Amino acid sequence: MGNGVYLSRSQSSSEDSTARKKFTISGWYKLADNGDAGGWKGFWSAAVDNNNYSSLKQNADGYIIFEQKSSGTGVTWTSSGKYRDYCSWYHIMVAYDSTQASNTDRVKVYINGEQAAGTYGSFTQDQEGFWGNSSATAGVGRYNNNTGNSYMYTGYMTHVVCTIGYALAPTVFGETDSTTGMWKVRGAPSGITYSANGFFLKFENSGTMGTDSSGNNNTFTVNGVGGSDGTLVQVTDVPDNNFATFNPIDVGTNFSATEISEGSLKTVSSGTTSDTGDQPASSMAFAKGKWYWEVKLLSSADNLFIGVFNDVLGGRKPYHENYGYFFYGDGTGSHSQIYESQESAQKGYGTDSNPCFSNNDICQVAFDCDNYRLYIGKNGLWTDDNAAGGGSITGGSAFNQSTPTGYYQISTAAAQAGFYRAAIVKAGSAVTYSAQINFGNPQFTIASSNSDANGYGSFEYAVPSGFYALCTKNLNTYG
């Protein structure tokens, strides 16, 4: 979501003034770094106008803020901690009960099942909230009553639940896993009574994303999609199976990308810095197993590297100082290469007259971390020769693991040690590009959905046998 996208609905007058003194809203969120306007992100709001609303948002510094604003006077609860994990899911819940005698009991914010510490303003006793107020518009994914590119939520969300007249506990919406001890989502809330304006948004209907699953038929309207606005995409990334993304706060000191967006799966490099090579990389690393992902190039194939780097040996360094293994194209059609870099000792393998890829090509990457082999394909075909002998992508072959060809073999013991991460790297300060990565959770439109053997992920092309999408359930089994 983001870039002007939000959901809204008109509320009925069925909630009386007593009921409106209490409400509970729960949701599961995977944050993205970029926010609309000044970096603010609105989780939800019930707003008459910009002077009268109940709202939950996050500011550019990562603090989560609940605000009750009436007649232009706002009272806030602000979290003591910053929440800037862009690679995992948060459960964020607000229980508002202004009937309580103690000010600190009138607003309780729970994050991952625990009441979060925060700074309290002076919330007025018996102050009505705007949830259930027929003069206020219910909004999901926005700050208050803003429209356009202002203060909208960016990132992922699911299982957003609201009921008015009740201040509930987080155990209604989540529970502790008996094996891992982690806080996890309940498939459906347990022990909840939905008020007349209550709702349950699971976003499971791709044709009508605002469908209410509470039984109340309080379906929301999707706003701001299309044209110059953003998109609302149904994804496979969910709290109980978290998929890899880029990590926007772990990109290196020389990284020149001006944007990581679309659920942290799109990267844009402006080519304006004098430094070269730092790269966005996958939020998940692996030391064993076989993994598959795809990269779609949106603009410029010039000096772009796609592959993996060794997170332990190289660390976060420019490409020429990293232990990295990439497929490279110069963007002119003159050659493409398998490329190895090990502490400033670069080696090019498999020079070919075909370019690596052009705009709108989809590059397939399969990395065998058990045998240390990097396979590369393009638009459904794989390189048909080994790296040392060249190998054409255009006119390539089907994937053949029993008699493997078209791969680069990482042969040194030192290079095989440690963890690997998927990466996109630019070589040169003037390099510009725009690309989307798909770990099984695509932001770009695909013509046919292919999952791995476990049924996880959605890819444009068939996942090679024995390779898997980079997600927590697969990592738990194979990584």
pLDDT at 38 over 80: no
Of all helices (H) and strands (E), which one includes residue 473? helix 472-478
Q: How far is CA 95 from CA 47, 66, 111, 163, 300, in A?
A: 18, 11, 12, 10, 49
Q: Would you state the pLDDT for residue 320?
A: 46
Tens of pLDDT, residue by residue over 367-394, are 999 988 888 887 887 775 544 444 455 4
User: What are the backbone angles phi and psi of residue 231, rounded to the nearest 5°?
Assistant: -135, 160
Question: Rounded to 5, what percent of the chain is helix, strand, coil?
Answer: 5, 40, 55
- Residue 127: band (very low, low, confident or very high) from pLDDT cuts 50, 70, 90: very high
Taking the domains of the chain in order of start, what are their residue ranges?
A: 6-223, 257-478
Q: Would you state the pLDDT for residue 441?
A: 92
Tens of pLDDT, residue by residue over 448-459, are 899 999 999 999
Tens of pLDDT, residue by residue over 137-162, are 999 999 888 877 778 888 899 999 99
Q: Would you state the pLDDT for residue 470?
A: 97
Tens of pLDDT, residue by residue over 421-445, are 898 876 666 667 788 999 999 988 8
Identify which has the larger pLDDT, 111 or 205. Answer: 111
Identify which has the larger pLDDT, 234 or 293. Answer: 293
**6-223 topology per CATH:** Jelly Rolls (2.60.120)
Average pLDDT over residues 203-224: 92
**178: Cβ contacts below 8 Å, ≥ 6 apart:** none
Over the range 29-64, which residues count as b (16 or more CB within 10 Å of their CB) and which as e? Answer: bbbbbbbbeeebbbbbbbbbeeebbbbbbbbeebbb
Give 255-260 contacts, CB < 8 A, sequence gap 24+. 255/279, 255/280, 256/426, 256/429, 259/34, 260/32, 260/33, 260/34
Q: Say if residues 286 and 479 touch (Cβ distance below 8 Å).
A: yes
Q: Would you state the pLDDT for residue 361?
A: 85
- Give residue for tokens 């429209």: 147
Tens of pLDDT, residue by residue over 171-198, are 999 999 888 889 999 989 999 999 999 9
Q: State the pTM of this model.
A: 0.89
Residue 173 is which amino acid?
A: F
Distance in angstroms (rounded) separating the CA atoms of residues 68 and 124: 10
> Residue 300: left (phi > 0), alpha (psi -120 to 50), or beta?
left
pLDDT at 477 over 50: yes
Q: Helix, strand, or coil here: 453?
A: coil
DSSP string of 195-214? -TT-EEE----TT-TT-B-S
Q: How far is CA 160 from CA 291, 376, 414, in A?
A: 32, 40, 47
Tens of pLDDT, residue by residue over 301-337, are 556 778 887 776 655 555 445 555 656 555 444 445 5
Q: Which CATH number fits domain 257-478: 2.60.40.10, 3.40.50.300, 2.60.120.920, 3.30.1490.20?
A: 2.60.120.920
Do domains 6-223 and 257-478 share one topology? The answer is yes
